[in-house]
Each structure stands twice: as C-alpha cells, then as structure tokens.
Amino acid sequence: MAENMKHEVVVVIVNEGHSEKVMDAAREAGARGGTISHARGSGTKDMEKKYGIVITPQKEMIYILVNENIRDAVMEAINKAAGLDTNGQGIIFSLPVDNISGIKFD
C-alpha cells in the first residue's frame, strides 16, 4: 500500500481520437500513465442548444492516478490540450482515492 501519500484519479471524457493529446499533456505535467477505455456518450438536442456543443457519441475515457500535489497541474494541462474549447471537447474531473494496491510508487 502507498502510505502517507494522498492520490486522486483524474477522469477525462473526450471525443474519440483525442486520448493521446490528453496523455501527452498529463505526462508533461508529471503524470506517469493512464488507462484509456472506449465509451459511447448520450445526449439530447436540448443539451446541444443549451451548451452550444455537438454531442459526439463515440468517446474515450481516460483514468489517470496522480499524487494530489500534481492534480491541478495535470488537470490544467489536459484542459488546455483537450478541454471543452478544443475539438476534444473534454470534460475533466477528479475523485479522491482512499486505498491503492498493486502499484509501485518511487
């Protein structure tokens, strides 16, 4: 177990084809790696009208485990590279992680 270290998982949802931009930005901000999975989004025409974005159904979800000390830098870098104002139309959030097993931290 990783003791005395607080971690968070940064979750990113982007349009398909933009996960490498996310990971490149995250690594530049200090992240070591992440997990990418394919997903399908669902939205309504009301969401498109209200937020002014087109809902692209094919998505990629990226999960990046980081030390809480670099969380903000990682999220900011990802937002610049693939946030809502880009073609990636990324949504980014983080969640606290209580316990970790199976990962070696230096």
Whether residue 46 has pLDDT greater than 80:
no
Domains of the chain in sequence order: 7-48+62-97 (3.30.70.120)
Whether residue 36 has pLDDT greater than 70:
yes
Whether residue 105 has pLDDT greater than 80:
no
> How high is the pLDDT of residue 2?
46
pTM, entire model:
0.85
Neighbours of 2 (CB within 10 A): 15
> How high is the pLDDT of residue 41?
82
Q: How does residue 3 score in pLDDT terms, banded at 50, 70 and 90? A: low
Beta strands in 1-106 (DSSP E): 7-15, 35-40, 58-67, 91-97
